[in-house]
Amino acid sequence: MSVRLREALRAAAAEVPAYPVHDRAVRTARRTRRRMAAGVAAVLVLVALVPLVVRGGGAGPDPAAGADGPALPDRIGLPVFGSLHATDRPRLGPASVIFSGRARGLTGLLDENGTIGIVGADADRYRTYQVGYEAPVGEKVLLSPDGRRIAAPGGSSRHPRIDLVDLVDGVRRHLPSVVPDSELTEPAGWAPDGRSLVVRDTVPTTPERSAYACVLSLVRLDTGRAVRLIEAEQLPIFDSPVAFSPDGSRLAWRIGDKVLVAGVDGRSISSFPLPPDTGLAGKGAWLPDGSLTLVSRDPDSTRWRLRRVDPGTGRDLGALELPAVSGVTTVRLLGWRPDGSALVVGYRPEPAAPARFDQPMAMDQRTAYGHVRSVEVLALAPGSAAPTTVLAAPEQVLAIDVADRVIHSGRVREADPPWGVGGRFWWWTGLAALLLGGVLARRLVSRARGPRG
């Protein structure tokens, strides 16, 4: 190449604008990283939100599920890992069943078998509620007649109370003790209209607290007005729950070896003694004709029958024409169905328990967790030869309560209990994914910007 040509090429090149290769490459790399960070963040957000959208944070109400109204599931399962709590959204709505025991999902390291399982009234939507200590449902934790509220003991020995959990609006209301110096307040029975609650208080009777008394009161939930029904020594302990007559005008409860009947104004109506291994049948003890139902064990057997008595005198009116229940520690009467059948809980014995259930035993011991392997809900139909199982439960579900509204409907639905993981698991997984996505996106943006200065 000649000198003149080389100089001409240099002059031409000098007139061409320079292309900033390095700067453009850096800007392109930064733009690519920003887009990648935004894409990663968007994907993580979608990953987090998809379970919440698909699962609804724990299956919300199915509009079609309640078309026929509330019904008893023919079986229940156990709460899954990460189940939603009673007050979580979406709200559960009225419940059909609550249950407790020592099965998986009902116990933990800190709550001492104090977790309650809750099943929706019209579909298999499950929730949990933690009492914090062993509190059998149907005895110390009660479901309201319409299935909307749960009454459970709460507070401390200095400030005892009852917690009322509304499953429809998620509100938890505290009902303080109505008895001065009470150390423990427990629910003992719902009035049929759900507006009043019988509560049982344990009160020290000596300065050194070496002796106690039990006080039974009827409390109006709207006004807090209380009517004292009875006060007695702690032993014998009141049986629970209290049974209300269908019209809500009378109450019956057992204390020691007697049944007491009173009006809602606290006026005593009658009291009568009970034979051994006989007790007030349960919250559904009142028959439509105004008589009371007792549950009694046949001598030297584990066969239990329902009997009628006159509530005014205690006179035995004979055994009901219902099948006996065999092979159980005892039965508890939940209520009466439209076809005249009785709905009862049968307590299947724990084979490893050293107790003899065909021998006399205190009624409260017959339902103690250590003596029971499982429970089932049975229908005792008039004229039938044997009970019919209408609800089956897993082993170590040791106590159960059913809403009166569900009992009176007479309906039983085919159940499909949940499996896998629950809404709280997905909620926490989604939150963790969002946080992780935020951290990764920030790191990618920081790298794209490069070092400062």
CB atoms within 10 A of CB 18: 7
Measure the CA–CA gap between 198 and 182, rounded to whole angstroms: 15
pLDDT at 311 over 50: yes
Place of tokens 């790191």: 443
29 HSE (CA, 13 A, CB side): 11
pLDDT band at 68 (very low <50, low <70, confident <90, very high): confident
Distance CA 177, CA 377 (A): 33
- Is 5 exposed, middle or buried, given 0-12, 13-18 or 19+ CB atoms closer than 10 A? exposed
AA identity, residue 374: S
**What percent of the chain is predicted at pLDDT more than 90?**
70
Q: Is 36 helix (H, G, I), strand (E, B) or coil?
A: helix
352 touches 345 (CB < 8 A):
no
CA distance 47 to 311: 63
The structure's pTM equals 0.84
CA distance 100 to 113: 8
Element (H, E) at 425: helix 423-449
What is the identity of the amino acid at 216? L
Give the angle subtended at the CA of 62 by the CAs of 61 and 65, to the nearest 5°.
120
The pLDDT tens digits of the residues spanning 262-273 come to 999 999 999 999
- pLDDT of 439 reads 72
Q: Which one, of 145, 140, 24, lies nearest residue 95 by Cα?
A: 145
For residue 20, what pLDDT is reported?
58
The helix or strand, by DSSP H or E, that contains position 22, with its residue range, turns out to be: helix 21-55
Domain chopping of the chain, boundaries: 21-57+422-453, 58-421
Could you tell me how far CA 1 lies from the centroid of its own chain? 96
- Residue range 285-294, pLDDT digits in tens: 999 999 999 9
Q: Which of 97-101, 228-232, 441-445 has the lowest mean pLDDT?
A: 441-445
Checking if the pLDDT of 80 tops 80, the result is yes
- Asked if 194 contacts 145 with a C-beta cutoff of 8 angstroms, the reply is yes
Contact 331, 321 (CB under 8 A): no
Name which residue leads in pLDDT, 119 or 25. 119
- What does the DSSP 8-state code read for residue 87? T
- Find the mean pLDDT for residues 237-248: 86
Q: Does domain 58-421 have CATH number 2.120.10.30?
A: yes
- Return the higher-pLDDT residue of 437 and 285: 285
Instruction: Provide the pLDDT for residue 398.
Output: 98
φ, ψ for residue 42, nearest 5 deg: -65, -40
Handedness of CA 141, 144, 149, 151 (dihedral sign): negative
pLDDT class of 113 with cuts at 50, 70, 90: confident
Per-residue confidence at 443, pLDDT binned at 50, 70, 90?
confident
Specify the higher pLDDT residue, 113 or 206.
206
Q: What is the mean pLDDT of residues 1-6?
A: 66
Give residue 105's pLDDT: 93
Mean local confidence (pLDDT), 391-414: 98
194 C-beta neighbours (distance < 10 Å), count: 16
Q: What is the pLDDT of residues 272-287, one digit of tens each?
A: 999 989 999 999 999 9
Instruction: Classify 57 in phi/psi space as left (phi over 0), alpha (psi -120 to 50) or beta.
Output: left
CA dist 367 and 377 (Å) reads 14
Q: Which residue has the higher pLDDT, 422 or 109?
A: 422
Q: Cβ atoms within 10 A of the Cβ of 56, count?
A: 16
SS3 annotation, 301-367: CCCEEEEEECCCCCCEEEECCCCCECCCCCEEEEEECCCCCEEEEEEEECCCCCCCCCCCCCHHHHC
Strand locations in 240-315, DSSP E?
Answer: 243-244, 250-255, 258-263, 268-273, 278-280, 292-297, 304-309
Tens-digit pLDDT profile for residues 32-59: 556 555 554 554 444 444 444 333 334 4
